[in-house]
Amino acid sequence: MLLRDKTAIITGGSKGVGRGIALKFAREGCDVVVCARNAAETEKVAEELRALGRKSLAFALDVANSAKVEEMVERTIAEFGKIDILVNTAGEIAGSDPSASKSIALIPEEEWDRIVGSNLKGTFLTMRSVIPQMKKQGNGVIINFTSLGAIHPPTVAPHYHASKAGVIGMTYDTARELGPFNIRVNAIMPGPIRTPFFDKLVAGMTDEEREAFFAGMAKICPLQRVGTPEDCAGAALFLASDLSAYVTGAVIPVTGGLPLQPTL
């Protein structure tokens, strides 16, 4: 087991990529604190992890709420005595409303604040909260989730893509700062991954239209398929374990081979 006796916090852990990582980590010997907004869904995942023989706590919280984040971290330390790994998968997309996702001139300020708050501020708050404990321990791993759209936008969604680009910058910066404390900070950059993340985008489509939507995404990938939560979980396991002991400040694409042209 690559994560035997480790303790991880996973935000956005109630479904999709976060749930996939939680299950992968548990099978590798890791106790997991699952965080997401929906209390029932979060507890359900925690029960799945306990069924695998691991300890698990469920926290219903909004990662953009600093008081709730601090409470969750304090409870984790009280329960487990340490925090070995933080995985930030929590995030939010604007949805299918064209006025909110197609033009920067039409984005309401509150929509901007909500997306940036969930995707960028939330990552900042969780990192800020776990770092003192990781420094005290003399080790730790932080894995942030950005998006291919941060460097290669497939459509126009400036608030979402700006927030995910900010995660990249914060990952580089904190990797430089925290390296001397034996804290590694890396990021995973997913491409098209089929998860409930797309629910808002495909809402209202027929089953045939939905399958055609994902088939079209698959065609543009060199690997000719849409990714799965398991694809991201494998990359997260690599970054969380000693297999990547000399890796920090890296952004790993899990994109099926995209993009197909230089991005800079």
Residues marked as catalytic: 160
Instruction: Of 240, 253, 244, give the one whose Cα is nearest residue 25.
Output: 240
Task: Name residues whose C-beta falls within 8 Å of residue 244's C-beta, 6 or more positions apart in sequence.
Answer: 184, 186, 238
Tens digit of pLDDT at every position of the chain (264 positions): 999 999 999 999 999 999 999 999 999 999 999 999 999 999 999 999 999 999 999 999 999 999 999 999 999 999 999 999 999 999 987 654 544 456 899 899 999 999 999 999 999 999 999 999 999 999 999 999 999 999 998 888 999 999 999 999 999 999 999 999 999 999 999 998 988 777 777 778 898 988 898 898 899 899 999 999 999 999 999 999 999 999 999 999 999 999 866 555
Report the pLDDT value the prediction gives residue 100, as an integer from 0 to 100.
Answer: 44
Asked whether the beta carbons of 170 and 119 are under 8 A apart, the reply is: no
Helix (H, G, I), strand (E, B) or coil at 164: helix
Are 52 and 30 a contacting pair, CB within 8 Å? no
List the domains of the chain with CATH numbers. 7-195+228-254 (3.40.50.720)
- Predicted local distance difference test score (pLDDT) of residue 68: 97
Please classify residue 137 by burial: count the beta carbons closer than 10 Å to its beta carbon, then call 0-12 exposed, 13-18 middle and 19+ buried: middle
- Please state, in angstroms and rounded to a whole number, the distance separating the CA atoms of residues 63 and 70: 10
CA distance 78 to 116: 30
pLDDT in the model for residue 159: 94
Give the pLDDT score at 134.
Answer: 98
Residue 57 DSSP one-character state: E
- The Cα–Cα gap between 175 and 182 comes to 10
pLDDT at 98: 42
Evaluate the omega torsion of the peptide bond into residue 262 and state whether it is cis, within 30 degrees of 0: no
Following DSSP, what letter does each residue of 183-251 receive, concatenated?
EEEEEEEE-SB-SGGGHHHHTT--HHHHHHHHHHHHHTSTT-S-B-HHHHHHHHHHHHSGGGTT--S-E
Q: State residue 199's pLDDT score.
A: 74
pLDDT at 195: 84
Angle between helix axes 229-240 and 16-27 (nearest 10 degrees) is 50
pLDDT at 123: 98
